[in-house]
């Protein structure tokens, strides 16, 4: 089934689960309902970061990405929980299965949100009736609240879904932009981050309406190629289709983690670098991908953040190769100031099947050595099953969630 031509007025939903991780935990254990709870990667240490929290916790000032110590200071009775990713994946798959029963045109964008194109959906009522049906079914069967935005394109649907939470349904029509969308502060526009908002405010762009009417030439000077695109979005112009296959698109795979304390210890930084690279390499293998650029991110004790990358002549996917480049970048660009966070990503990715293996004098010998090992592993896998080879980090990965879980979920997503 193909999507309607862009000349036909489209009906797009954006669906977003409310406090998803916390809501799943409350559905699993109803005694948590009404209490201020938060999901954190490592509740016992400073490096624990709030992943999400219930509305009761948010009312006390608890926010996503806030350090655990700060959240506890704002809300002393905050109940901290480690994430249960298997539980969240199971709930998410059930949700997307329900969505796919409405239309095959479902595009997941993360574990807890996605777009639907219901333009050609017939026999299920009006768009609002379909939205109410989905919202109530998810709440009744999974006990998870969600909000939906209904609009003629993806951008407006996304903006609409954020306007009423929890359990909101908002319709945003193009003729309502001047009264509903344009008065909003510029930082509330999807795609505008804090730094971009600061740049725009310097040229007197305070609201989304200011952006919609601003000179496009000056916007290009400030935002580059995104200047015209952001102005179009502010005017409700967005021709992007709901693409079920977009979930499989990827150009980089990365992992980052905050240290338990600001560190100048090379051995400690190197150990963390190894853990991050292991995580990246695992996900690269899972996607049968290979890349030719390694990027390192360093956040210092004063929150200053730098990113440095190196593009290689050939493609790599082995953790040893990724680690070698990452270490070189760290040695070259670390100024020995205390480090708070490290991040590593493999970029310029391609599917291995699309890239011919590029062997040189440095990699040929290693590949030749590994060939017999791979043959032996394949024979044992055929005989005993796929689970006999477990990564030494598999249990550790469950205990030390990284910041890439949303992408990990998308790796696993399969249309029902």
Tokens of 55: 């509305």
Using CA of residue 398, residue 403, residue 406, residue 408, what is the dihedral sign? negative
Residue 61, Ramachandran bin (φ over 0: left; ψ between -120 and 50: alpha; else beta): left
Specify whether 357 is catalytic.
no
Output the pLDDT for position 98.
95
CA distance 207 to 193: 13
Output the pLDDT for position 107.
94
The 10 Å Cβ neighbour count of residue 209 is 19
CA distance 181 to 249: 30
Tokens of 296: 């390192």
Output the pLDDT for position 245.
79
Tell me the H-state helices in 152-265: 154-161, 194-201, 208-213, 216-223, 226-234
Residues that constitute the known binding site for Mg(2+) = 16, 112
Please determine, for residue 398, whether its predicted confidence score (pLDDT) is greater than 90: no
The contacts of residue 401 (CB under 8 Å, 6+ apart) are 41, 83, 85
Active-site choice (113, 274, 375, 399) = 113
Q: Are strands 289-300 and 350-351 parallel, antiparallel or unpaired?
A: antiparallel
Nearest to 80 by CA among 89, 70, 88, 68: 68
In the chain, the percentage of residues whose pLDDT exceeds 90 is 62
Residues that constitute the known binding site = 16, 112
Output the pLDDT for position 19.
93
Output the pLDDT for position 289.
86
Tokens of 28: 């699993």
User: CB–CB of 83/115 below 8 Å?
Assistant: no
Q: How many residues does the chain have?
A: 416
Is the model more confident about 390 or about 132?
132
Q: Is 43 exposed, middle or buried (0-12, 13-18, 19+ CB in 10 A)?
A: middle
The contacts of residue 410 (CB under 8 Å, 6+ apart) are 108, 110, 111, 247
What does the pLDDT average to over 301-318? 88
- Among 41-45, 127-131, 321-325, 371-375, the least confident range: 371-375
User: CB–CB of 212/182 below 8 Å?
Assistant: yes
Output the pLDDT for position 41.
74
CA–chain centroid gap for 214, Å, is 31
CA distance 208 to 193: 13
Output the pLDDT for position 375.
54
């Amino acid at each position: 089934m193909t999507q309607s031509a862009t000349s036909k007025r489209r009906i797009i939903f954006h669906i977003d689960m409310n406090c998803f991780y916390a809501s799943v935990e409350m559905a699993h254990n109803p005694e948590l309902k009404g209490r201020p709870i938060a999901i954190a990667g490592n509740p016992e240490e400073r490096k624990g970061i709030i992943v999400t929290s219930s509305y009761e916790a948010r009312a006390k000032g608890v926010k996503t990405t806030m350090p655990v110590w700060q959240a506890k200071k704002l809300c002393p009775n905050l109940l901290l929980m480690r994430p249960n990713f298997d539980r969240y994946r199971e709930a998410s798959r059930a949700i997307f299965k329900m969505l796919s029963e409405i239309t095959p045109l479902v595009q997941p964008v993360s574990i807890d949100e996605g777009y639907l194109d219901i333009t050609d959906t017939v026999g299920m009522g009006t768009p609002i009736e379909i939205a109410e049906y989905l919202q109530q079914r998810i709440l009744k069967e999974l006990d998870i609240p969600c909000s939906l935005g209904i609009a003629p394109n993806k951008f407006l649907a996304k903006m609409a879904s954020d306007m009423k939470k929890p359990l909101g349904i908002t319709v945003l029509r193009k003729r309502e932009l001047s009264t509903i969308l344009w008065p909003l502060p510029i930082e509330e526009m999807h795609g505008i981050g804090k730094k971009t908002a600061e740049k725009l405010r310097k040229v007197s762009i305070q609201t989304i309406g200011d952006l919609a009417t601003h000179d496009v030439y000056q916007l290009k000077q400030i935002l580059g190629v995104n200047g015209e695109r952001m102005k179009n979005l502010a005017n409700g112009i967005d021709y992007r289709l709901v693409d079920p296959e977009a979930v499989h698109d990827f150009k980089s795979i990365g992992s980052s983690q905050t240290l338990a304390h600001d560190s100048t210890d090379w051995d400690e930084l190197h150990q963390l670098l190894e853990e991050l690279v292991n995580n990246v390499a695992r996900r690269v293998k899972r996607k049968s991908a290979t890349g030719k650029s390694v990027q390192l991110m360093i956040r210092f004790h004063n929150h200053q953040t730098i990113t440095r990358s190196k593009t290689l002549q050939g493609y790599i996917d082995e953790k040893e190769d990724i680690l070698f480049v990452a270490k070189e970048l760290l040695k070259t660009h670390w100024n020995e100031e205390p480090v708070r966070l490290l991040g590593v990503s493999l970029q310029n990715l391609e599917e291995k099947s699309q890239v011919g293996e590029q062997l040189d004098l440095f990699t040929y010998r290693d590949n030749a050595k590994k060939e017999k090992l791979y043959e032996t592993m394949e024979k044992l896998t055929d005989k005993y099953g796929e689970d006999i080879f477990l990564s030494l980090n598999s249990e550790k990965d469950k205990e030390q969630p990284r910041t890439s879980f949303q992408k990990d979920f998308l790796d696993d997503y399969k249309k029902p």
